[in-house]
Structure 1
């Protein structure tokens, strides 16, 4: 598995997206992936997007291979200054875990191109590096994962998540999602020891991601911006 993931990292690039054309490609990839699993209804525009895509604390990241986006997800950083995200809307009780000064990461709309799945490429592992690296960069305390029931075993085994709630209807999807949580700082080293490809890869510099600042919340180094009363 390690060699397969490293091969993917050699052949691919990570892109933090802000341009409208690039985002539309991601929205079309989402639509294709979710429609392929009958997880959303058809629409004439053949795109999948919602208001959370335009949140000021939303970061879109895609995996590019052979001049096309083959995987993508979005990240919402939750802090005392940004108390909103897709999963918080559906699972508000998760805020019971939140403590002042902490940061929660909410990765959503995780998609991998259907052709890559058919070809057996482990792009899901390359894509899951995105929230893991983001959690390292922004010093996240709690990582969330809204997933279908059949995917919970993967998150338990590979990333040290725990089930938090049973599946429930989720933001325009026809299939329910349950919420899982991970105490990232407690789990990080254990995960990296078993699966080092989730972390930074010095031998493949382009496999690392330059995460942006989040205006008014996080600076370019991933540090919380001091708030003035």
Structure 2
């Protein structure tokens, strides 16, 4: 009886994964990622952050209507907007952290977890300032997958030890289910936001390989990886637009 229940659960999970993969591969035909460093697009992602954070209680009112912070313009910072059918639907920022550039919000928030590991030579991708516009979503529930695909492209490019994802504990089930994220700290005050945030870590290596096999829409070609992360281009005024390459990666690998 127990074996039958487990088999049914596995079958349902596999069916759900297949539906998600089909939906995402179709949507990626209409998606572009923009590496944003200035101009109106930068203001747009700051406004989206603010609207999302204000609505969720992550921040209070800000007169400018934009949410930016002291980590945005660091040399190891990458700010992205996700556009679907030409409309901004979400945004995410990354810092690539190493002993040479130990700069990111998570380093400041969780030094007891990360500083010793950096000194040992470990490297990390720190994903923060995730914000979405649910009203602009092309389909229910897809924005986290469209947005966090950036983390998978970054992981393939940098080859870091882990991806860091500071999140509310109540949101952690998503990261554990789809990325095998592991909680590394208790929830605590996080720089720039009101809600307590815990640090979760997504191991690279074999874990990332299995995730890419399970969800092929996370795959990317080396060309896409280089365009997204080969140069932060902090002073670029015109955003660099990158088209997802999941359907091409096998031929280009």
Give the RMSD, CA atoms, in angstroms: 2.3
> For the residues of structure 1 that align with 2:201 and 2:135, how far apart are their CA atoms?
30
- Cα deviation for residue 37 of structure 1 reads 1.0
Query: What are the within-5 Å matches in structure 2 for residues 58-207 of structure 1?
Result: 58-95=77-114, 96-98=116-118, 100-116=120-136, 120-200=140-220
Structure 1 position 20, deviation (Å):
2.9
8 Å contact 2:77–2:93 — kept in the other structure? yes
| Residues 154 and 225, structure 2, Cα contact 8 Å, conserved in 1 | no
Q: Which runs of 5+ in 1 are unaligned?
A: 216-229
Query: Is 1:43 the counterpart of 2:62 in the alignment?
Result: yes
Larger RCO, structures 1/2 (Cα 8 Å, 6+ apart): 2
**In structure 2, C-alpha distance between the alignment counterparts of 1:37 and 1:51, rounded to whole Å:** 22
- CA–CA distance in structure 1, aligned partners of residues 221 and 143 of structure 2: 16
- Determine whether 1:26 maps to 2:42: no
Structure 1 or 2, whichever has the larger Rg, is 2
Unpaired runs of 5+ residues, structure 2, are 1-19, 234-253
Matched length: 213
4+ residue stretches of structure 1 with deviation over 4 A? 205-209
Deviation for aligned residue 1:197 = 1.4
**TM-score, structure 2 as length reference:** 0.77
Name the SS for the 1:165 alignment partner: coil
Pick the structure with more helix per residue.
2
State the Cα distance separating 1:170 from its structure 2 match. Answer: 1.1
Match in the other structure for 2:228: 210
1:175, CA displacement in angstroms? 1.1
SS in 1 for 2:178: helix
